[in-house]
Amino acid sequence: MKLLITRPMTPAVEARARTEFEVEIRENTLPLSQREMLSALSEFDVVVPTLGDLFSTQVFADAGTVRCKLLANFGVGYNHIDVEAARAKGVEVTNTPGAVTDATADIAMTLLLTTARRAGEGERLVRSGQWQGWHPTQMLGHHVTGKRVGIVGMGRIGQAIARRCHFGFGMQVAYQSRSAKDLDFPAEFIPDLQALAASVDFLVLAVPGGADTRHLVNSQVLEAMRASAILVNIARGEVVDEMALISALQSDQIAGAGLDVYEFEPKVPQALCDMENVTLLPHLGTATEEVRSNMGHMALDNIAAFVAGRALPNPV
């Protein structure tokens, strides 16, 4: 059985993969090209795709008869894989849920705090050598403790963010999801997204990517937000209509944004880069060695089960 891992992994994951499987680990850190995806499907039994490896309907249509029988996705999100098209070709798909929860929630709080307290702007000021010292009205930001946060999507990651907000900062939690959840902390369920957006100081996005959530946050949702409110996105870039967000920020319709993901990643509009009230991170949601190793091991666990003919631990 031949295994392809599409990008470099942590040393622990690469060592295990080489010990347990006949593996080729691609050294390029960029996503697979269409030609590489077609080769992967025809030359390998299992492929470990990563974010940006766009196994679309067209790729599967162009592939003809495929050798690959499993896409063991490295990541919880799999909107870059057309799962139905894969299954039609006899290819199963797995992912790595759970491993990413706390790290992603931590990044959400990093963005929320950094944007609210103008920490990025302040660091740039200090580094520029232009800071003239403390004074009572210097860089006044937005208080976080005790404020009201709205979370869009109350799955594992949404709940982890909510717990940090409630237990760590005494925030009032409201949320929008497909249905009300049985939670171990107080939270108000608001099924209408615009109503949620209008009622909170911080709106945090924690929904999966894909066609169902594309441009979920559009001009109408942004218009509903308070002028003092801040948007945080740790979900997928396409969940937000990026042009509508830029317009809302430029017109002071909302106070700021903290972004770890972008609609046309890795392209980031210059307009966002030019704004001091926007915190921009390079998709750091799961970027710790422990988490990336756990994700890799989970992907390898799925592969090991597949090879042994056992039930897949994390099918999608």
Catalytic residues, by residue number, are 236, 265, 283
3-class SS at 279? strand
Nearest residue to 3 (alpha-carbon basis) of 313, 300, 291: 300
Strand partners, 4: 24, 47
Question: Running DSSP on this structure, what letter comes out for residue 238?
Answer: G
Which residue in this structure is represented by tokens 């080729």? Answer: 24
Buried b (16+ CB within 10 A) or exposed e, 130-139: eeeeeeeeee
Strand partners, 46: 3, 70
Residue 242 burial (CB count, 10 A)? 21
**CA dihedral in degrees (244, 250, 255, 257; nearest 10)?**
50
Buried b (16+ CB within 10 A) or exposed e, 185-218: eebeebeebbebbbbbbbbbbbbbbeeebbebbb
Contact 96, 77 (CB under 8 A): no
3-class SS at 152? strand
DSSP characters for 166-182?
Answer: IIIH--EEEEE-SS---
CA 96 → CA 129, 162, 180, 294, distances in Å?
A: 44, 21, 25, 9
